[in-house]
Amino acid sequence: MKESTIMKIHYGTALASVGLVAVHILMRLTTGFADSLSYENVLANYRSVPYVIMLELILILLAVHGFNGLRVILLELKQGRVYEKAVSYGSIVGMIALIGYGSRTIIMTNMGMV
Amino acid sequence: MTEDEHREGIKGMANPGRYGIERIAYLLMRLTGLGLLGYFIAHVYETSNILRGRMGWDDFLAMTQTTEGHIFLVLVIGMCVFHTGNGIRIMLGHGGVGVGQPARPDYPYEPASQNYRHKIGIYSSIVLAAVAMMYGMAVMFGE
Amino acid sequence: MAQVSSIADEQASTPLSSPKSILLRISKFNPKLDESSKFMEFTVPYQKWTTVLEAILDVKKHFDHSVAVRYSCRQATCGSCGMMINGKPKLACFTKISELDSDVVTVEPMNNFPVIRDLTVGFEKLFAKHQKIQPYLIRDDSELESDEREFLQSPEEVEQYIQFANCIKCGLCNSACPTMATDSSFVGPQALAQAYRYVADSRDKGKDTRLNIIDESHGIWRCHFAGSCSQVCPKGVDPAMGIQFLRGYLLGFRS
């Protein structure tokens, strides 16, 4: 993939996640911070389909943005063909692993497997 | 880093003292980005405790609902707000917005790209982060 | 081990009516012989107008003619005498000692360039990266026949790039860049600013070629708009501005 395409994705994921994370944080403040984190409240959040879709989007957007940011920092720290390939593929693996792990929580809780 | 290249290395990259607020913003952007990625990974792991049922969730929540946990969250809020504010400034700059217009330079050659608009953007991000941290403290410690 | 020497009044090239003097610390390093650099210290008299280069040349003339320093024009035109002066990259011929507000002036070779000896660094990579972005007009009809006219430009079209044509390839921007501090493959602010210089030139038709060259993993995207390059440029080129405009083409903000 061209670097400009990757960086367009980087900027796009950043902008999209700003709005969604703001909603996610505001949801914590609607019922009081401590109450919003109670087991019942969190479970209710996970059972709400629109909220779950938003969580999944945040997970994907931030994982892509975060791991690409890490890739950029690591590429600038050290150079070399093997190292750069390891960083690029490592970032993709990290991204997929985090999305997979987070999605597991979201899907299992949403489907009542708790 | 080989001696022939005579590169400054991480120390030079991270040394913000010599080149003004723009270089400080560059360093803070990196540090907050790394900090937020670390927090995000920890948050995804933390919330997976819901799968352990009420006991698991409450046990893990108790670990985070401490003074240290709240201070950590306040720092995360600050990092998040600065990274967002400064990130929007950088994105606009990357598109050529607010970086001035080409013109024949006159001594003492003040660079147009290092203008007050971007400086205000950086200072605003820092102030917003501080305000958000104070609000976060009021919410978390006020309850 | 440091050596402290001072110039006898009658020997100095700087008139010594002024009682002012500074301690000039010069980094000495020969990669072929030395394991690490060391500083030699000299007490040098100066006037309001004395430049760092003149002080170094005084030291060469009176104390240690082995000090390696590259210079030519002495008027910020040739781009030869770039060095770290009190921790920041500057042209020695363009920096007055009186402007430094310090009793101690430390001169070292520019960062992010291989040291040839003492204050002299190698520019091979700088020139190679400059060459890489094809710093010349690209168009099919660049070879003029005798009966054709030169390519015309309006004054407004000249204003779009003339600032960037002031680059003297002194390397100060590359020395100040935080990415260059760790990334040896990064194309660097000097070459990127020159890429913009030609892309913005209305006579040039090589925009897409150049954008392709810089759109790679160690190309333009490794610039994070820290702006240190523009702050140290001795000719007012403002590479940071050029780089952001160039990136604007790749992001679709400019056409």
Domain count, chain A: 1
The reply to whether residue B114 touches residue C111, judged by beta carbons under 8 angstroms, is no
B16-98+112-142: CATH number: 1.20.1300.10
Quote ipTM for the complex: 0.94
Please tell me whether residues C78 and C53 are part of one structural domain.
yes
- Average pLDDT (A21-44) is 88
| Mean of pLDDT over chain B | 92
Q: What percent of chain C has pLDDT over 90?
A: 85
| Residue C250 near chain A (CB below 8 Å) | yes
Q: Which of the two residues, C1 and B79, has the higher pLDDT score? A: B79
Q: Which residues of B touch A59 (CB under 8 A)?
A: 44
Q: Which of these three, C121, C145, C162, is where a domain ends? A: C121
Domain count, chain C: 2
Q: Which residues of B touch A21 (CB under 8 A)?
A: 80
With H, G, I as helix, E, B as strand and everything else as coil, classify residue C243: helix
Give the span between the Cα atoms of C28 and C95, in whole angstroms: 20
Q: Which of these three, C69, C91, C121, is where a domain ends? A: C121
Q: Which of the two residues, B17 and C90, has the higher pLDDT score? A: C90
Count the Cβ atoms, other than its own, within 10 Å of residue C39. 16
Q: What is the pLDDT of residues C65-104, one digit of tens each?
A: 999 999 999 999 999 999 999 999 999 999 999 999 999 9
Predicted confidence at residue C106, as pLDDT, reads: 98
Q: Which residue of A has its CA nearest to C248?
A: A4
Please tell me whether residues C111 and C164 are part of one structural domain.
no
Please tell me whether residues C117 and C130 are part of one structural domain.
no
What residue numbers bound the domain in which C37 lies?
A: 4-121
Given a cut of 80, is residue C131 above it in pLDDT? yes
Predicted confidence at residue C242, as pLDDT, reads: 97
Please tell me whether residues C142 and C83 are part of one structural domain.
no
The reply to whether residue A79 touches residue C183, judged by beta carbons under 8 angstroms, is yes
- Are the beta carbons of C164 and C242 closer than 8 angstroms? yes
Given a cut of 50, is residue A51 above it in pLDDT? yes
- Are the beta carbons of C188 and C243 closer than 8 angstroms? no
Please tell me whether residues C205 and C115 are part of one structural domain.
no
What CATH number should be reported for the domain holding residue A85?
Answer: 1.20.1300
Given a cut of 70, is residue C1 above it in pLDDT? no
Q: Which residues of C touch B90 (CB under 8 A)?
A: 224-225
Lowest mean pLDDT among B89-93, C8-12, C120-124, C240-244: C8-12
Nearest chain C Cα distance for residue B103, angstroms: 6
Nearest chain C Cα distance for residue B118, angstroms: 10
Give the span between the Cα atoms of B47 and B36, in whole angstroms: 16
Lowest mean pLDDT among A65-79, A93-107, C141-155: C141-155
Order of strands across the sheet with C104-108? C4-6, C38-45, C21-28, C104-108, C82-85, C88-91
What CATH number should be reported for the domain holding residue C166?
Answer: 1.10.1060.10
- Average pLDDT (C177-185) is 95
Give the span between the Cα atoms of A7 and B31, in whole angstroms: 19
- Average pLDDT (B46-71) is 92
Please tell me whether residues C76 and C186 are part of one structural domain.
no
Nearest chain B Cα distance for residue A77, angstroms: 7
Residues in A lying within 8 Å of B, measured between beta carbons? 11, 14-15, 18, 21, 29, 32-34, 37, 39, 42-43, 46, 59, 62-63, 66-67, 69-70, 73, 76-77, 98, 101-102, 104-105, 108-109, 113-114
Helices C124-132 and C188-199: angle between axes, nearest 10 degrees:
30
What CATH number should be reported for the domain holding residue C76?
Answer: 3.10.20.30
- Average pLDDT (C23-36) is 95
Please tell me whether residues C27 and C100 are part of one structural domain.
yes
> Which DSSP letter does residue C110 get?
P
The reply to whether residue A114 touches residue B41, judged by beta carbons under 8 angstroms, is no
Given a cut of 90, is residue C13 above it in pLDDT? no
Q: Among C185, C216, C251, whose Cβ lies nearest the Cβ of A79?
A: C185
Predicted confidence at residue C147, as pLDDT, reads: 73
Q: Which of these three, C121, C155, C176, is where a domain ends? A: C121
Give the span between the Cα atoms of C38 and C27, in whole angstroms: 6
How far, in Å, are A41, A111, C232 from residue C173 at the CA level? 55, 57, 6
Give the span between the Cα atoms of B110 and C14, in whole angstroms: 30
Q: Which residues of B67-105 are buried (b: 16+ CB within 10 A; e: fewer)?
A: eeebeebbbbbbbbbbbbbbbbbbbbbbbbebbbebeeb
